[in-house]
Amino acid sequence: MNNLRDVWSSRFMHYIGEVQKYMQFIFTGHIAIVLVFLIGAGGYQYSEWLKVVSTDFPAQTIVAVVIGIILALSRPTTLLREPDQVYLLPLESKMPQYFKKALAWTFWSQVWLVGIVYIISIPLLKAVTTLTISEIWAIFFLIVVLKYLSVQGEFSYRYSSRGHLIWGDRFIRAIIFGLAVYMGLQAQLMLAFALTVIACAYVFVFRKKCAGEPVPYEHFVNLEQNRMMSFYRFANYFTDVPHLRGSIRRRGWLDWLYKSVPYAKGNAQKYLVFRTFVRTDDHFYLWVRLTAISAVIVAFVDIPVVTWIIAAALSFATTIQLKQALLSGGDFRMDMLYPQPEDARKKAVQQIVRLSMIVQAIIVGLCGIMQPMFFVTIFVIIIVSELTTKMTKS
């Protein structure tokens, strides 16, 4: 297939199909209900806070910093595959037309996030600044332009340096973009325009460095593999992803936790399951993420019923996924060589899940200690977790 535009089109359709296949399992009915409650509660809290926000609140600084960081994070989506390092070498001179399509998709797939964040900040800007409607939307247009420059800049930097010290490049772009947005929010549009010109020059420097450089296939392939693996790991929280390759980490700084399991023959399975939970990235980060989400919501939403519903939903999601993950190990394990009761692993999984959920309840409760009736949230998490553990199939 000599036309690289056709190569991109075929891969893009396959990519969209792959994303849609797993998205239907992610955004199910109960997740939609949680999102509705979360968005509604967040919107209500935001609107109530705007009524009492002080006029000297540093809205311009905060918005500029957040927007600058989001703008700087512009990882390109190339959809390159490992065999391309060999099969696309004869077409290397024509690769710019492939990358043109890739960067167009990268821009449109990322610009909506920074746009939504800025639109959400508009009521705050109107409450504490004297910006006119035309100035606010002029800044929105500026942000879109800066996002385009960021996408082009990160791609050019990665192309010319193979991604070496990419965080340094992102830091520089975040500063330039953040200052440009800040000047715009201060109604200094000429200074914002000058900083945009500086951003263009910065991108142009790395664009020139790309001339004559061979395509860094290996770097872009690794980048694409890591990006898709992150998506598969996220999707694996909601459904089984057959080709997901999990990773194991030593996590020596948590070795002291294993001392909580007494050394005894009857605790062999409990010790094994505990180490599996701590060392397996998929299991450990699942618990960390859902605990963090629940803690943040409970800390900032002061509507008790909403926090209880969300905490219950996340407790259910954590419990059922941890239980299924820890019970589903079908590979050979050393404990299979030793005589153990058939239900030993099942009991061990229940104990570890119960312990992890008690810790989650304590963390979430402490984060919401300033909220009314915060102690009810602790009981809700424990009760929902216990019911889920006993009523779901093993």
For residues 148 and 70, state if they share a domain: yes
Is the pLDDT at 27 greater than 80? The verdict is no
pLDDT in tens, 306-316: 888 888 888 99
In a domain, 218, yes or no: yes
Is the pLDDT at 2 greater than 70? The verdict is no
pLDDT at 344: 79
- Of 256, 235, 232, the residue nearest 245 (C-alpha): 232
pLDDT in tens, 313-339: 889 988 988 888 888 755 556 556 566
Instruction: Determine the 3-state secondary structure of 248 from DSSP.
Output: strand
How open is the CA angle 223-228-232, to the nearest 5 degrees? 150
Instruction: Determine the 3-state secondary structure of 280 from DSSP.
Output: strand
For residues 40 and 124, state if they share a domain: yes
How open is the CA angle 166-167-168, to the nearest 5 degrees? 90
For residues 275 and 228, state if they share a domain: no
Among 100-104, 224-228, 314-318, 345-349, the range with the most confident prediction by mean pLDDT is 100-104
- The residue segments making up the domain with residue 295 are 252-329+339-391
Contacting residues for 261 by C-beta, under 8 A, at least 6 apart:
267, 270, 271, 274
pLDDT in tens, 125-170: 999 998 999 999 999 999 999 999 999 999 999 999 998 999 999 9
Q: Which of residues 234, 262, 285 is at a domain's end? A: 234
Contacting residues for 343 by C-beta, under 8 A, at least 6 apart:
none
Q: Do 300 and 374 form a contact (C-beta atoms < 8 A)?
A: no
Q: Which of residues 181, 204, 234 is at a domain's end? A: 234
In a domain, 334, yes or no: no
Cα 44 to its chain centre, rounded Å, is 24
Q: Do 153 and 173 form a contact (C-beta atoms < 8 A)?
A: yes
How open is the CA angle 107-113-119, to the nearest 5 degrees? 120
- The verdict on pTM exceeding 0.85 is no
In a domain, 242, yes or no: no
Could you tell me the pLDDT band of residue 120, with boundaries at 50, 70 and 90? very high
The DSSP H or E segment spanning 182 is helix 166-185
Count of the separate structural domains present in the chain:
2
